[in-house]
Chains A and B, each alone.
Chain A
């Protein structure tokens, strides 16, 4: 049965203790490095010291993060916390998908990679119908035309475009 303190806690229970512990540990690590990673300049007032604001920020993190950890109604890591951590790690896969997309664009070009990425990710998350794969292809083409061809945002042309013949090469580099 949950205690009164647990019942009044704002937010979900699972993962809270692990997050608070990691936050405080990171803060203490940064605080321990403050003298090597920032400078104290002689004949300079406190508020103008390069170390002043990192110290204020890390002090705030340590104080409030520490108090948050102290005020947590749980003191033991349960299996639910471990499951929640596993859930956090699962999204790293999608972060890797994103990074693969980023790294492939300068090589294969924005349009080809987007045409592969959107349907492939749709497939990965469980869409198998030709209708959804078709939607993802249409979406991929629309995004490239809107941002690269019309709004001309800064995305470099793919290295693969160098193999295209003269006029087509510059057309692809500029538009796709």
Chain B
């Protein structure tokens, strides 16, 4: 109870209230504009939050992270274009509802499901916080190294069919992080004698380049789309009543969201996939899924909104971000000398609970805002693509230049922007670079500290948590290699079949004729044989 009181005290400030309001409304707006997304907004706003109190800055960023998915459902349902990447599954059932004249029902249900997911995960984590506070101190240097390694491996293997290039890009992220002055032996690494590289390459510069500038380039070179919006009439409260009719789907989906959010590198997509599959299998009308099923919409929206709060767990308890957005938030902690990790749970538990409470309030604010302002809000979907590109490029300047007032940073950000643009054109993942940079730095420090007390290799995993993490790494790698082997096997089979298959139409017809004639011949011979036997039987 004391903990809750001191957490409320941290939040009971006008600047935190303003941050909550700005984060929630801003997040919904950003989410509702296809082509922007929370990563771009957070990247741009990061340097602006450095001058704020940690709780204020983090509340704004958390607000954007948590509420963008609410906003992302709007274009997903109304125009079949997800506002944020995680709303892709919402289009499956949301848009068919709009197509059959029920946009209001779909939006209302999406908001209610998102609200339930958000609240469920925050309540779970507030209840779970004392347990976490006991588990977190069990993580020493070796355990944090292994957890970071597990997170990195999970991010790489999550990109099915692209694991090799994802791994190469994660290694590239680790390489970028090593550039500059090495902090223990004070030696230069890959600085090529250039002073501007001695301080290393700033994470925010890379993030702004890969997310914001590259997105601006994509939008500036794309065409504007003609958008036709459906008019919404009536209230938005029916979704809450409809959600109450599907408590099982909602709670299981939220549970998947919480679990998947806590595992670094897994996140919304896996949670959504598992929830959607569960909802479809357990539904009385599985054939409706993909054609405007309310259960499908609930599963998709509940699970993705349960993730943001859960994703804060590895970040706060271990200092390990599981995805790009929490990686950006890590830099806010570092700027304010608040080091996330086991110490935070032991010494500043009220701060952690305050963050969770902020997320709770945020969900309420967003729901109220959306229930009353959706009609006005949907107009942001109309902003043309290239104009958005102009806006993002103008805003990116604030993000990069305000960091150190350095033109060199801007050149590097522009370079990473071009790289991000190329990766987007090639449909390659950008996130492994960011996580490689963040987790690579953590792994370097923790491995050095952990190995100082290790005499034999097996000593590294002689503690229970370290051993469990090591087993998890082996399991993930074994599962991945098995999948690669099965894919390879099926490819070989398909290749063999296509090799045997004739591609000549003339030959195919000839074979068909021969086959037919053979079949006919067989039938004719069999018929004649039957008659012959019958005839012989007569005598």
Contact = CB atoms under 8 A, between A and B. Distances in A.
B220 A125 contact: yes
Interface string A111-124: 00010011001100
Interface string B389-412: 111011111101110010100110
B187 A57 contact: no
A135 interface: yes
B88 interface: no
A153 B398 contact: yes
Contacts of B213: 95, 98
A167 interface: no
Given A53-B444, A98-B397, A132-B387, A45 B48 contact: no
B51 A152 contact: yes
A57 B175 contact: yes
A14 B47 CA distance: 36
Interface in B110-126: none
Residue of B164, B185, B440 with most chain A CB atoms under a 10 A cut-off? B164
A54 B386 contact: no
Contacts of A135: 387
Nearest to B49: A151
Chain B binding surface SS class: helix
Contacts of A8: 161, 491
Nearest to A96: B414
- Looking at chain A, what size class is its interface with the partner chain? 35 or more
Given A4-B494, A58-B175, A60-B167, A95 B414 contact: yes
A99 to B, nearest CB: 6
B376 to A, nearest CB: 18
17 contacts: A10-B162, A11-B427, A15-B422, A38-B189, A41-B187, A48-B185, A61-B171, A64-B168, A88-B418, A95-B217, A98-B410, A98-B417, A121-B390, A126-B386, A147-B398, A147-B402, A153-B48
Interface of B: 47-48, 51, 160-162, 164-165, 167-168, 170-172, 174-175, 178, 182, 184-185, 187-192, 213, 216-217, 220-221, 386-387, 389-391, 393-398, 400-402, 405, 407, 410-411, 414-415, 417-418, 421-422, 425-428, 436, 440, 444, 447-448, 451, 491, 494-495, 498, 503
Given A47-B451, A61-B171, A64-B165, 17 more contacts: A11-B426, A12-B425, A33-B190, A39-B187, A44-B185, A50-B184, A53-B444, A56-B171, A59-B171, A92-B418, A98-B414, A99-B411, A105-B401, A132-B387, A140-B394, A152-B51, A155-B402
